[in-house]
Amino acid sequence: MISAHGYAAHAADKPLTPFAFERREPGPRDVQMSVLYCGICHSDLHQVRGDWEPMIPSLYPMVPGHEIVGRVTKVGARVAKFKIGDTVGVGCMVNSCRTCPACRNGLEQYCESGATMTYNGRERDSGDPTFGGYSDVLVTNEDFVVRIPDNLDLKAVAPLLCAGITTYSPLRHWKAGPGVRVGIIGLGGLGHMGIKFARAFGAEVTLLTTSPSKVHDAERLGAHATLVTRDAAVFTKNAGKFDLLFNTIPTGHDVNPYLQLLAQDGVMILVGALTALTPPPLGANLLFNRRSLVGSIIGGIRETQEMLDFCGAHTIMCDVEVIPLQNVNAAFERLAKGDVHYRFVIDMESLRRESARAA
């Protein structure tokens, strides 16, 4: 076994604290990596605090982190895709059944028996808990490892492994591109990437926000326009304006005013809210003008690599604030208040320094 160190939550109401544990030795198809950076996702906060119980149980101790960039230090005898020294990434999944129609079509995130998540899950073979990227070392099957383009800043790449693919996949699937009017609802970790990708795809991009202070940043990120939705009249004045709405609001909310902004055959894509919409969508807002309300999560491994290659070709990265792991609890408190522009990323060198001092 491999000695590993990280930070873990031991209960929903407790802070993350230093945690020593063991990883498996790399098998024939496994890649071992030294973790360099790990993004902090809003879902880390939700799962650590048990917000999604009972839908998604929280397993403690929990080492969060599924936006992982590392350097390969060891490979199994049958690994063909990677070699020692490669810079690689691991996102939200580390395994799936491999045999269901979704997996065979490269959509492992929709595995019929449930994908094995990078943390807060259980290994398919052993049943052992999976521990994520708030740690110094990771061992993962090569099929769930992706290659990082050489020209990208690694700390700004880490959130692409979740926030990036969560925006890229649905915008590609619902064909954001030239001539398509895209509205991005909310300017946070997902929203800022939604603007960048939709603009890079050639769409006409508008930010919808309740915060007038975000107008300037939206323009900097690539939005053509901003609508401040604090004024209810904005919804009436802009009825039928958008072909796609990319909704990043992370909690249950009223989608009905936004649905009225969709044109005929328009689509609203939910990517943030796992809890109930309150009130639910009115049938009239969907039936008239043949509108659609759809949902999406991350993307498969093949599409994640496609997304990274696209980012390399267009120099697209996340806007990040880098922190030492020792500041993770303060970062969680700020994240809960929306006080981050736009993703926290942990520099794992801080953990290695701490471990060296302890030794």
In the chain, what are the domains?
2-162+299-358 (3.90.180.10), 164-295 (3.40.50.720)
pLDDT tens-place string over residues 227-283:
999 999 999 999 999 999 999 999 899 999 999 999 999 999 999 988 899 999 999
Backbone CA torsion sign across 328, 68, 95, 2: negative
Task: Please calculate the CA angle 332-337-133 and round it to the nearest 5 degrees.
Answer: 25
pTM of the model: 0.96
Task: Please calculate the CA angle 119-9-164 and round it to the nearest 5 degrees.
Answer: 40
pLDDT tens-place string over residues 157-175:
999 999 999 999 999 999 9
Backbone CA torsion sign across 196, 198, 160, 50: positive
The pairing of beta strand 30-40 with beta strand 137-141: antiparallel
The amino acid sitting at 81 is K
**Nearest one of 211, 209, 159 to 189, comparing CA atoms:** 159
CA 61 to each of CA 74, 105, 180, 227: distance values in angstroms, whole numbers, following the listed order: 27, 34, 45, 43
Partnered with residue 209 across adjacent β-strands are 228
How far apart CA 327 and CA 346 sit, in angstroms, is: 9
pLDDT tens-place string over residues 121-136:
999 999 999 999 999 9
What does DSSP assign to residue 129? Answer: B
Q: Is pLDDT at 24 greater than 80 in this prediction? A: yes
pLDDT at 353: 84
pLDDT at 359: 63
- What kind and span of H or E run contains 290? none
Proportion of the chain above pLDDT 90, given as a percent: 95
How far apart CA 252 and CA 274 sit, in angstroms, is: 7
Q: Where are the alpha helices (DSSP H) in 118-184?
A: 154-157, 163-173
Q: Where are the alpha helices (DSSP H) in the chain?
A: 42-48, 101-104, 154-157, 163-173, 189-200, 215-221, 233-237, 256-259, 283-287, 301-314, 328-336, 349-358
Q: What is the arithmetic mean of pLDDT over 112-121? A: 97
Q: Is pLDDT at 354 greater than 80 in this prediction? A: no
Partnered with residue 98 across adjacent β-strands are none
**Nearest one of 35, 6, 44 to 334, comparing CA atoms:** 44
CA 178 to each of CA 24, 175, 198, 203, 205: distance values in angstroms, whole numbers, following the listed order: 48, 9, 10, 5, 10
Q: Is pLDDT at 28 greater than 70 in this prediction? A: yes
How far apart CA 5 and CA 296 sit, in angstroms, is: 33
pLDDT at 352: 85
**Nearest one of 89, 119, 88 to 19, comparing CA atoms:** 119
Q: What is the arithmetic mean of pLDDT over 141-149? A: 98
218 CB-near residues (< 8 Å, 6+ apart) = 187, 195, 207, 209, 226
Contact predicate 63/135, CB 8 Å:
yes
Contact predicate 22/3, CB 8 Å:
yes
Q: Cβ atoms within 10 A of the Cβ of 257, count? A: 15
What does DSSP assign to residue 281? Answer: P
